[in-house]
Structure 1
Amino acid sequence: MHATDLVNNNMPQESKPTPTQQKAEPPSLSDFEQQEEVAWGSLATIIDVIYKKNGRHYALKVLNKGQLAKKKAIASVHAERNALIALGKKSYHHPGVVRLHHCFHDPDHLYFVLDLATNGDLKMLVQKLGSISLNCARYYTAQVVDAVQFLHESGISHRDIKPENVLLDDEMRIKLADFGCAYVGANMETPRTNTFVGTAAYISPELLARSEVNPRSPDIWAIGCLLYFFLFGSSPFMAATDYLTMKRVRALDYSIPDVCDTGAADMIRALLVLDPLERLGVPPKSSSKAIRQHPFFVGSEEKTTSGAGAGTSPALWLVVDWERLWTAPPPPIEVGPYRARPKEVPADDLWKGFESLHLVND
């Protein structure tokens, strides 16, 4: 029972709550000083705002009610709100999950006030570099694993884990965002029929088949796709269209380049398994502990005995120190070996020849 419940139960029947006991009024748009837009999409715009009451920066997610109704996305907004509120009720807030601070609306828009991630997302980072180093991939995959497992323990399946939904804060640590496809349930062990949700390049085969499986399994599959993306700059199932991509997912049609680290390749294969019951980390045959103890994270016997893992600064992240995952410094961002950073074309070259174009008169 909450403290406020105790107060209300002990009050005389005719008593009225004092002003301090009354529920605080939600903020409105006028309580925020708008800065610049930091992201936008077909349904939402994200604006950097300053909350006038405390001077702090937040991300204001603005959704147009008319657009939501037109695109039949109202259920998605409710799913996100329910998941974030459920997480907000927990006594512990995970550092790797975006936090909902306020939620309000006006006649035309819905507003979510969220943590502001100042360094973009992992899709932007990887695409800028082409790929990221093995140690960077290990570190960020471990952070995603830890955050996802926290969600599952909290009765929430994200179901749309992808690079653009993994934000980077001012210290270059992750924050999972966008819970529009989330499932919130009291029991994550009971199989349930899956709804077709998610993004083609990261969607699991059981979501495509709408089969009855453990709610955790789609997120575990997506982690395998993420690791592949970190190392090679593309989804393992990417094709010219979503239809062809999903066809490749159903057929488990992907290949791992020969340059891939042995531990990383083994991890990808253990997560990208068609049968979710055979997938690493999915109960009852596996567990969350099994993922955390995989050699890709904790090091192989050969690596440990050679000294590459033991006695090395965790900042290098040759192995994952799970106890210091959110406190030790992240690894320096380095380009991966598979693809070099794309060459930047000088701005003048982009317009070369433009002045020589001639229109042909009819």
Structure 2
Amino acid sequence: MHHKILNFLRRPKFFGDNDIKPLHHVLFWSIYFVFNTFRWSFIHDDFLLSFRTNLIGFPIHMFLAYLNAYYLMPKFIYTKKYVQYTAYILLALFIMLLFKYNLTYYLVSTDVMPEAPEAVNTLTIGYAIQTMIGEVYVISFFTAIKLTIDWLRESSKLHDLEKRQLKTELRFLRSQVSPHFFFNTLNNIYSLTLEKSDQAPEVILKLSELMRYLLYATKKQRQDLTSEINCIKNYIDLERIRFDDSLKIEMNISGDLDNCKIAPMLLIPLVENCFKHGASKNIGEMKIDIDLQVIEGFMIFKVSNTIPNPHKKFQYPVKSGGIGLSNVKKRLELGYAKSDYELSIFDENKMFNVILKLKVI
């Protein structure tokens, strides 16, 4: 019998989510009962009368509170049936009024309203109004607590869902970088094997280092900035193979890089963009400048490349951003606060420039 009662109390339809245990309800009503008993004992100057009155009144309070919060509101308020809800709640209040009056009259005192100036021995309008208002107060108080708890629970679930979606989207964006990056690199290796170049083993070794970085580093939310820079250097060394002396690359690094952290594979797409949309489409001399500085906890990463020959028929990704740039934008939005980064994309003096200011400490 004991187990059956506990199982009933734990039913979701009665108590809602199991985060609120039956013990919580018992504690709430116990504390409320003690508070109300002492409160009315001071008003009546009679503790026993207050205790007996509340002993009768509280089962009625509880019934109305649970009826409203777990049945009437879900069935009528949530479905916008306000007229039916009003009719049912008034009916419930009236029935409970009759119960309370008769129980008080026959079990406690014939004076059912001792706080009144004169003795009340009948079911008067004043008694009915005051009793029903008191019940509405209890119902509203209980319902407000339940709605607050429900809102907090749903907010927590929504927050957890958003976090899971964020992690899923970030993982997808990282995986989006990888095929794009390795597609170009494998093309380099393919060209070298066709030429039977002695550089092929070195290129494969560098590629394996990049793959190792990608497999292990990208599982972390943040990676050492020095590791990211080494990855960029390996990438540049691989790309140099495709181009002759017509491609000029300069890379400058300054500042204290110790303890600096960055989202892994965040800078590679910016560098890769220079080769994909710059060097590979350019006729004549091509220049790529990469400058990285760490100043007062912020990294300023600037990458520039010569804008391709305007006579060639293709659209440079200044407006569209390309896969790489749009990927970086999305990862910054998802992985960093707005105050932690600033991304600028512009062309100037026949150079396409991307500047990323990012908090790294």
Shared fold, TM over 0.5? no
TM range (shorter): under 0.3
Greater relative contact order (CA < 8 Å, ≥ 6 in sequence): 1
Q: TM-score, structure 1 length as denominator?
A: 0.21
Give TM-score, length-normalised by structure 2. Answer: 0.21
Structure ID, larger Rg: 2
